[in-house]
Structure 1
């Protein structure tokens, strides 16, 4: 686990180094430095520069790379440790339960909006089939069918304009509730809180922001569905000649595309939803780790539900229980990713700053058993003055 996180951090930081990497050393001899070794061969051709590097400095380069890896592993361990500590301190299990509850009531209107947006380009029936197919990979078929039935009943029906407007408003409120809850939870994890006395203005802003996230996720899903449709058509043609090879190849390619889609979805959530300003580099790193954990968790949750018989004791409510379990564990993965992103930002000297409409919060714990209440109040005032 630590090696995996360390590898992800290494790959991400490699593309953001301004100096000190081996590629720049080869491309700009005499200007760049690699591991403290200067090049004074700018007048020589590139090929001879590479030969000299291999002849004189290659052992030093390998030594410095080994030292960098040794330093990286403790840092990766510190990030993982800080993520776990934050996971426990912020009571993520409670927040995950809240999100699972809201998701049950928001999933139907949310999927209605997503199907409507994707159906505008693909056609409603094609969008429904693709989305139900994706749901079947995460949930069992019975649960997916139950969700399909709920979505059909959640469509806006009405003979009058008033009924349609009321249905549309109810649909939007239900669909955006789950993202509003995610926003509050990530704000709490990152130590950010909206400014007080905003009231209805802030609530409307959050709902509009949640709706914009729904549109963004629908666009990402639309691109994914188009790519999947193209690959399915192409795989059918290729399987005629290379049956065994095409099955393995397209399975791996499908997993890569799924990982990329989930990666971008988490990146949008971490970047747009919280009331924070954070660099794209940090967002992409945290979202990538979260996406990997989500893919691994998908198989683990499916294995657990299939082997343990979870929900069988609830009879006809089995599908609802399975949906709650799946959203609960998925929410824990999402919030652990938020904890990891925060730990990564702190470890590499960056910061998560509040935006214009938010402030930074800090929790202060004061023991009153060893001191009087008055002394505790004075300590609290001193701490608050330093904020």
Structure 2
């Protein structure tokens, strides 16, 4: 038995005892490489840079009645700090400017912001669709309509997150004592639960992205695994990137000067795009593996 045959036999032995996970990972990275997903992530990051602020302004315009509250504005800034570690100052300035000009934003402006914000999701949806070899390619009109739907869905999800967070902040008014006089809202468990809320909404976003964007049949349980892995990867990249920026090792401002924040944001967008595409290819690999097993 030669080395290659022995390696294949060993892989099959491990795969059979590891519930097919090695085969799924193999399919994932093989498909990721065959579709040049790493290069596609760079184009997604490029379009995301131009679509980020129109999308933020569009969401702010829709939620203008909510944003009049100062505490809600602080919640949004905190959300930006958690998920966009390199762009807090940039987004904060745009949010402040948008709030000043909020009365001047008309229907035509909203449509323009919606169209600009959807550009990145047109590219993103096309690349997620490519992860599925059985998916049919959409034409320009279908792709743009899908992208517009994604932006509107994200805007709705964000507004729901604002409402949920606001209600959550009001709960401590109603004291719920445990273990005598100890209030449940003062416990460490409650603090952990509130920190997980953004991740839950992010999981919902990824779940629907992987379920509905591919132009083929995708089961919820298949999309759930890809969404869960993407959320974990997204959180790890964001935490690692924030640590890198605060550790003193990041010297991008020395090299790029005033463009340093933009370059750092581009890098974060690229890494995030890689995670999103990996989640899509993982979902497709899980579907292919489980359906083949069921057929056999």
Could you tell me the TM-score, scaled by structure 1's length? 0.61
Match for residue 292 of structure 1 among 201, 221, 232: 232
8 Å contact from structure 1 (residues 156, 164) kept in 2:
no
Change (3 A) 1:86 1:102: same
- What residue is the counterpart of 1:172 in the other structure? 114
8 Å contact from structure 2 (residues 58, 110) kept in 1:
no
- What residue is the counterpart of 2:269 in the other structure? 327
Query: What 5-or-longer segments of structure 2 have no aligned partner?
Result: 1-13
Superposed counterparts of 1:121-160, under 5 Å: 122-125=66-69, 128-140=73-85, 143-151=87-95
Q: Deviations over 1:6-45 (max 9, x none)?
A: xxxxxxxxxxxxxxxxxxxxxxxxxxxxxxxxxxxxxxxx
Bigger RCO of structures 1 and 2 (CA < 8 A, at least 6 apart): 2
8 Å contact from structure 1 (residues 210, 273) kept in 2:
no
**Secondary structure, aligned partner of 2:51:** helix
- What residue is the counterpart of 2:203 in the other structure? 263
- What residue is the counterpart of 1:104 in the other structure? 49
- What residue is the counterpart of 2:137 in the other structure? 194
Q: Distance in 2 between matches of 1:70 and 1:87?
A: 20
Query: What 5-or-longer segments of structure 1 have no aligned partner?
Result: 1-68, 196-201, 352-387
Superposed counterparts of 1:1-387, under 5 Å: 71=16, 73-120=18-65, 122-125=66-69, 128-140=73-85, 143-151=87-95, 167-191=109-133, 192-194=135-137, 202-235=139-172, 242=182, 246=186, 248-307=188-247, 308-313=249-254, 314-349=256-291
Cα RMSD (Å): 3.4
Q: Deviations over 1:248-280 (max 9, x none)?
A: 213320243222211110012112323222122
Q: Deviations over 1:326-384 (max 9, x none)?
A: 11111111001011101100110169xxxxxxxxxxxxxxxxxxxxxxxxxxxxxxxxx
Q: Distance in 2 between matches of 1:274 and 1:131?
A: 30
Change (3 A) 1:157 1:298: closer
Q: Distance in 1 between matches of 2:183 and 2:263?
A: 39
Deviation at 1:111, TM superposition (A): 1.0
Change (3 A) 1:96 1:245: same
- What residue is the counterpart of 1:370 in the other structure? none
Change (3 A) 1:72 1:337: farther
Give the greater-gyration-radius structure (CA): 1
Q: Distance in 2 between matches of 1:169 and 1:204?
A: 16
8 Å contact from structure 2 (residues 136, 216) kept in 1:
no
Q: Deviations over 1:156-188 (max 9, x none)?
A: 97999xx95653443222111011011111122
Task: Say which structure is richer in helix.
Answer: 2
8 Å contact from structure 1 (residues 235, 250) kept in 2:
no
Q: Distance in 1 between matches of 2:182 and 2:253?
A: 42
